[in-house]
Chain A
Amino acid sequence: MLKKIAMLLSITITLSITGCMTNVNKEGASGTDEKVTISVGDWPTENRPQWVEQYNTYLRNMESKYPDIKVVPDEWAYDVNSFVPKATSGQLPTLYETFHTETQKIINAKYCADITDELEKAGYLDKMNPMLKELVTKNGRVYGIPKDAYILGLTANVAMFTEAGLVDENGVPLFPKTYEELGEYASIIKKKTGKAGFIMPTMSNFGGWHFMSIAWSHGVTFMEQIDGKWTATFNTSEAASALQFIKDLKWKYDALPDNVLVDNPEMLKLFASDQGAMYFSNPADFKLFDTYGMKKENFSVGPMPEGPLGRFTLTGGKTYMFKPGVAPEQIDAALKWLEITGESPTPTAELLAVLDENYKTWAEEGQVVGIYPQNVWVNEEFVKAKANVIDKYKNIDIKFAEQFMNAKDVRVKPEEPMNCQELYKTLDACIQAVLTDKNADPATVINQANSDFQKNYLDKISE
């Protein structure tokens, strides 16, 4: 019996190996006709009607200006479940969007195309924000174009701060200056309103990601290259005190929501439904709050609190990347598409008109407009032009965002160089450990995480 099984298995394996070896035939760069075809991901769906309309306008403009380029809409949006199968089988859209936190991982796995030469030729490279360029660069080659960028701020619910008496004479929330103050304020809010004072994500790598800025400001370095070998270096008292802060939020200040398994959607939902007064967030992403019925008047944003080493924050946002193996003419076509959608650095009259329309659409859709984002293109004419458009469609009282926009001492730190996502996951577990166990010792927890991270990931870097 076993012999038969072995024989059949070997036949199957041989057959399939021969199958593996024959390469999947490469998709042609262009269609049968003369046209260059590109597919564009993240095409808006019906529940954002204004944007469907706007994208259709882009499509018409594209057709009239570049009749030899064919743009195929694709509603596929980056999602963890389908990305790997799509990427490994060459089914990604030619131009797709992903998140800043994913770019280095995607570059390492070679799921995107090198577009340095095309960007060089178009003269875009020196206009790109150096900090954002870093995100899409590896060994001097550039693999993506950041679409938008924000830095994390401390978002606060005005009504809840008012109820807790934590507002200045203008009705603007008193943003906590330090992490200790954050804990104290959160505690006051919890006592006065019965709702959580602060929302800390703890799942799906978001906990670890948000923990970064807290840890950096406590003076933690997570890893260093010692004698050419990457070494985890967060088994320190600084890291322990950063984790102690998280622990205190729950057990000392009693300021967190009852549910401590919080992922990103849960965090947004809690904040947008008035169940939490503060959290670290993208200051401009208001659409989601709106889905849960939060009023714009309740929205305010301040700078990140200060730790022993100062203020630190992270950037987030989306990045355009290209399907691996695209032809140069497809990349050029995609750059032209970005010109049509208002995302290229040369502020021509046409581009300004599109920008104007884009912000008008944002405002119509109910987004917060008025806070200057981190600019992707830093050539001065572009920055100025964009600021003008934003001011034109401003729809919030700017006093609720001034402190965030004017904060000069906030340092934006790039992500850790190696195994970010794994680090976030490891830290997620640390955060959960101190939030679910009153007796957990932060120093022990973080030291264990340090040695696990070293053993599981850094020791296995084969480069």
Chain B
Amino acid sequence: MKPTRRIAVKPAAGAPRERTNRWLNAFTRNGKAWMIVLPSVLLFYFIMWRPIAEGVFLSFFKLENYQAAGFVGFQNYREVLSDTLFLGALKNTFGYVFWSLLISFLPPIIIAVALNEMVHLKGLFKFSIYFPVIVPTVAAALIWYFLYLPGDGGILNMLRHSIGLKNSEWLQNPILTIPLIITSMTWRGCGTSMVLYLAALQGVNQELYEASTIDGAGFFLKLRYITFPHLSPIILLLLVRQIVGIFQVMVEPMTMTGGGPNNASLSLNLQGYNYAFVYFQPERALALNVITFVILLGITVFYFRLDKKLSI
């Protein structure tokens, strides 16, 4: 147990006898706590850290049958960075994050708050809004295929006709590709966040609402001073997760556009997938993954710095 050993080295204050007792107490308390978390430590070690470390390690090698076959330093990294598609993919990935913050961040919060107010059909609404989460990826892909189909076959184009508009190219318009992919992801992901916000809303002390109602506070005042502070930790949590998740977007562009048209929706992870699974160059995929990780880490560190400054 590394952590407990570290405690032993630390000098504690107080009289010698007292010190020993405290040391013992701390040792047993920490030890017990680590015993409880041990399964999690072991699983994270074997399932996550160890394979990840192996992947990072191998990104500095030339690989043969996924075994290290010669140290090449940063060569894989240089090759990935000098790929003419890299900059485009990087730009697109930030584009995904930007559009996702714009399109998919607020809806689940609004829906959860509204849903929490319902006395009519609450169950039905909740089921309907969660339903897209249950729909399997393949079915969702087909649904969006029908919706976004260009020409007269598309459902959305049918709707445009009915209000007198012309056909749109939808996904095939390079400017619209990313926002439209994000829209479909919002449709599918909204229910997940909504359920989490809803669970958090269950924790609001109802008496606060009642008391402030008697004091004459209106809806938005209560939303601002009671609901919002209660939700802010989970909002923060989901915001970080959203950025981290969208930064790794891959399956949706892969199934909807294959990264097209003309690489307009190619993301970093999709490029990594192509390296590893289509071109059989896993070393480059690993290097690209590490680069993605470093960028993400940079964003989060920056974010937490900013967050600290703002909150002080």
CB-CB nearest in chain B for A263? B258
Given contacts A84-B282, A204-B258, A324-B65, contact A261 B172 (CB under 8 A): yes
Does B150 have its Cβ within 8 Å of any Cβ on chain A?
A: yes
Report chain A residues within 8 Å CB of B173.
Answer: 436
A-B pairs with the 3 shortest C-beta distances?
A258-B151, A88-B66, A433-B262
Does A432 have its Cβ within 8 Å of any Cβ on chain B?
A: yes
Does A422 have its Cβ within 8 Å of any Cβ on chain B?
A: yes
Partner of B84, one of A8, A87, A259, A456: A456
CB-CB nearest in chain A for B148? A259
Contact B277 A84 (CB under 8 A): yes
Report chain B residues within 8 Å CB of A436.
Answer: 169, 172-174, 261-262
Contact B58 A258 (CB under 8 A): no
Chain A contact residue count (CB 8 A cutoff) = 51
Stretch at the interface among A105-113, A124-132, A407-415: A105-113
Report chain B residues within 8 Å CB of A202.
Answer: 260
Bound complex: CA of A456 vs CA of B263, how far in Å?
15
CB distance from B123 to the nearest CB of A (A): 38
Bound complex: CA of A258 vs CA of B49, how far in Å?
47
- Interface mask (A348-365 → B, CB under 8 Å = 1, otherwise 0): 000000000000000000
Contact A261 B278 (CB under 8 A): no
- Interface mask (A418-437 → B, CB under 8 Å = 1, otherwise 0): 01011001001110110111
Contact A80 B260 (CB under 8 A): no
Does A77 have its Cβ within 8 Å of any Cβ on chain B?
A: no
Bound complex: CA of A263 vs CA of B276, how far in Å?
20
Partner of A460, one of B45, B79, B85: B79
Contact A88 B278 (CB under 8 A): no
Bound complex: CA of A12 vs CA of B150, how far in Å?
51
Name B residues whose Cβ lies closer than 8 Å to a Cβ of A.
Answer: 2, 45, 49-51, 53-54, 56-58, 64-68, 79, 82-85, 149-154, 167, 169, 171-174, 257-258, 260-263, 274, 276-280, 282
- Excluding A80-B278, A203-B260, A436-B169, 4 further A-B contacts by CB distance (< 8 Å) are A17-B54, A20-B54, A106-B280, A436-B261
CB-CB nearest in chain A for B68? A20
Q: List 22 A-B contacts (CB under 8 A).
A: A9-B53, A12-B45, A12-B50, A13-B56, A16-B54, A81-B277, A83-B277, A88-B65, A105-B280, A203-B257, A203-B260, A257-B151, A258-B149, A258-B167, A259-B150, A429-B263, A430-B262, A432-B260, A432-B261, A432-B262, A455-B82, A456-B85
- Interface mask (A95-119 → B, CB under 8 Å = 1, otherwise 0): 0000000000110111100000000
Bound complex: CA of A269 vs CA of B274, how far in Å?
25
Q: Please provide the chain A residues from 223 to 280 with a CB less than 8 Å away from any CB of chain B in the complex.
A: 257-261, 263
Report chain B residues within 8 Å CB of A109.
Answer: 65, 280
Q: Please provide the chain A residues from 417 to 463 with a CB less than 8 Å away from any CB of chain B in the complex.
A: 419, 421-422, 425, 428-430, 432-433, 435-437, 452, 455-456, 460
Given contacts A12-B45, A261-B258, A433-B261, contact A421 B171 (CB under 8 A): no
CB-CB nearest in chain B for A203? B258
Report chain A residues within 8 Å CB of B150.
Answer: 258-260
